[in-house]
Chain A
Amino acid sequence: MTTVTDTPHITVPAADEIVDRVRELQPLLAKNSAQGEADRRVVEESITALTEAGAFKIAQPRRYGGYETSMRTMLDVSAAVGAADGGTAWVVTLCNVCAWLTGLFPEQAQDEVWATTPDAKVSGVLSPTAEAVKVDGGFKVTGRWYYNSGSWHASWAVLGIPITNADGDVVDQGLALIPRADLGFEETWFVAGMRSSGSNCLIATDVFVPDHRIMPVPAAIGGNYATEHTDEVLYRSAFVPLLSLVLAGPQLGMGRKALELVTAKADTKAIAYTFYTAQSDSVAFQLQIAEAAMLIDTAHLHAYRAADDIDSAAVAGVYPDELTRTRVRADTGWVLDHITKAINILISAHGAGSFGENNPLQRIWRDSNVAARHAVTLPAVNYEVYGKALLGRDDQITPLI
Chain B
Amino acid sequence: MSTASDIDPAVVAGGIDPKRFRDLMARVCAPVTIVTTTDGDGPHGATASSFAALSQDPPLVTVAFDRRSALLARIVATGRFGINLLHHGQEDLAMRFASRGTGGERFAGTPWHTDTGLPRIDDAAAWVSCERYNTVDGGDHLLLIGLVTKACNVERPPLVYANRTFGTHSRFSERPRRPIVDHITACTSD
A residues neighboring B (CB under 8 Å): 126-129, 131, 144, 160, 162, 169-173, 186, 217-218, 375, 398-400
Given A144-B113, A218-B183, A399-B183: A128 and B178 within 8 A (CB)? no
Closest chain-A Cβ to B49's Cβ sits at a distance in Å of: 26
Listed A/B pairs (8) with beta-carbon separation below 8 Å: A128-B184, A160-B188, A173-B187, A186-B113, A217-B183, A218-B180, A399-B182, A399-B187
Closest chain-A Cβ to B42's Cβ sits at a distance in Å of: 17
CA distance A173 to B181 in the complex (A): 9
Closest chain-B Cβ to A79's Cβ sits at a distance in Å of: 28
Does B184 lie within 8 Å of A131, measured CB to CB? no
Looking at the complex, which one of A128, A131, A144 makes contact with B187 (CB distance below 8 Å)? A128
The number of A-B residue pairs with CB atoms under 8 Å apart is 38
Closest chain-B Cβ to A127's Cβ sits at a distance in Å of: 5
Interface residue SS majority, chain A: mixed
B residues neighboring A (CB under 8 Å): 113, 122, 152, 178, 180-184, 186-188, 190
* Inter-chain contacts of B152 with A (CB < 8 A): 131
Does B187 lie within 8 Å of A171, measured CB to CB? no
Identity of the chain B residue whose Cβ is nearest the Cβ of A143 in the assembled complex: B152
Given A131-B152, A144-B113: A170 and B180 within 8 A (CB)? yes
* Inter-chain contacts of B183 with A (CB < 8 A): 173, 217-218, 399
* Inter-chain contacts of A127 with B (CB < 8 A): 187-188
* Inter-chain contacts of B188 with A (CB < 8 A): 127-129, 160
CA distance A173 to B190 in the complex (A): 18
CA distance A160 to B183 in the complex (A): 12
Given A131-B152, A170-B178: A162 and B184 within 8 A (CB)? yes
Identity of the chain B residue whose Cβ is nearest the Cβ of A130 in the assembled complex: B188
Identity of the chain A residue whose Cβ is nearest the Cβ of B190 in the assembled complex: A375
* Inter-chain contacts of B122 with A (CB < 8 A): 144
* Inter-chain contacts of B184 with A (CB < 8 A): 128, 162, 170, 173
